[in-house]
Amino acid sequence: MKSNLARLKKIVDSYMQRVPMVHEHCDRCLAVARWHSNALLMVIDAAFDSIGLNYFQSVVPKVELFRQRYVETGKIRTMEDMVKADASELRAIWKNERSWKVAREIASHLALLKRKHSLDDRSALIRWALEAPLTAWDKDPVGSIGGVGINTYQYLRMMGGVDTVMPDKIVKRVTFDILREAKIKLPESDIEFVQLIERLAPATGYRAIELCWMTWLVQSEAGLSRTEKYASLLPKI
C-alpha cells in the first residue's frame, strides 16, 4: 500500500503542476471568502451550477450580473431578501425556474439558522456546512430540497469552509484515471468516493478540496487549460 501511495503522490504532483493557482483559490474557498465573502452569492452560484451548464461561461457571468443588479443596489442583500424576491423578475437574469427554487429554499433554511442562533448570512452558511452530514446528506434540510443533489450539497459545503470533494462526473473521471494508474481500488458509490478522497488526500500532500478543483481546472477549452483561460477570473470568485 505504501508503494501505491507513493505512486499516487507522484501522479497527483504532475497534475498539480498544471494548476498553480489552485492552492490560493482553495484557501479562499475554505476561508468562506469566495464572491467577496458574500454567502448569498455562494448560494446563487450553487443553485445555478446545479443544472449542469458550463461553470465559467454560463454560471459565473450570471452570478456576477445578480451581484451588480441586486446586491450592489441593495435590492437583494440577505437570505431573507432572497426568500421574498419576485421570481418573475429574477428570471430576467436566469431563466431556469428550478434554480431559483433551490436558491430560495436554501436561503430559507439559512435564514432560519440566522434567527435561531443570532447569526449573519456568512456565519449561518458556515454553521450549516460544518454540521451538515455526509452519509445522511439527503436527510439534511438542504439536501432534502428538490433539485439539490449530492454535488450541489457538497459544493455548498465546500464554499461553507469544509475540506471535501464533489463526486461529479468530471471529478470522478479524472480521479478514477489517477487511482487506476496508482493501482488503488475504485470506490463504488458517491459517498465512498468522497470518503476515499478525504482519506487519501493527506498522503498526496494536498487537501481534498484542492484535488477536486484540480480536476476542473486541468480541463481544456478552446485549446487552453482553464487555468490559462480563466487566470484573471479565478481571483475574483
For the CA atoms of 30, 34, 37, 42, what is the dihedral angle to 10 degrees? -100
pTM, two decimal places: 0.95
Dist. CA 53–CA 35, nearest whole Å: 19
pLDDT of residue 227: 81
Cα–Cα distance list, 154 to 53, 68, 96, 142, 185 (Å) = 17, 27, 21, 11, 23
Which pLDDT score, from 0 to 100, does residue 106 have?
Answer: 98
Q: Note the helical H segments in 31-161.
A: 34-37, 39-49, 60-66, 79-84, 87-90, 97-117, 121-131, 150-159
User: How confident is the model over 106-145, as pLDDT tens digits?
Assistant: 999 999 999 999 999 999 999 999 999 999 999 999 999 9
Decide: 74 and 113 in contact? Cβ < 8 Å: no
